[in-house]
Chain A
Amino acid sequence: MSFISRGFRGKRRDAASSSRVPPGQYVVNDFPVLSAGPTPRVAFSEWTFVVEGEIDQPKKWTWEEFRKLPTEEVTKDIHCVTKWTKLDTAWKGVSVDTILEGVETSAEYVMAFSYGGYTTNLPLEDVTGGKAWVAYEFDGQPLHPEHGGPARLLVPHLYFWKSAKWVRGLRLLNKDEPGFWESNGYNMYGDPWREQRYWGD
Chain B
Amino acid sequence: MTVQQSDLKLDGNAIAGLLREIFTMEMTTAESTCAGCHKVHAVGQVEVYMNAPGAVVRCPACGQVQMRIVKGGGRYWLDLSGIRCLEFSA
Contacts and interface: CB of A to CB of B under 8 A. Distances in A.
Which of the listed residues B6, B53, B78 has the most CB atoms from chain A within 10 Å of its own CB? B53
A171 to B, nearest CB: 19
20 contacts: A33-B8, A35-B6, A36-B49, A36-B56, A37-B6, A38-B4, A40-B1, A40-B2, A41-B3, A43-B1, A46-B1, A81-B53, A117-B65, A183-B79, A185-B54, A185-B75, A185-B77, A186-B53, A198-B72, A198-B73
Interface of B: 1-6, 8-9, 49, 51-54, 56, 58, 63, 65, 68, 70, 72-73, 75, 77-79
Contacts of B1: 40-43, 46, 115
A141 B70 CA distance: 33
Contacts of A181: 53-54, 70
Nearest to B70: A185
Contacts of A116: 3
A72 B53 CA distance: 29
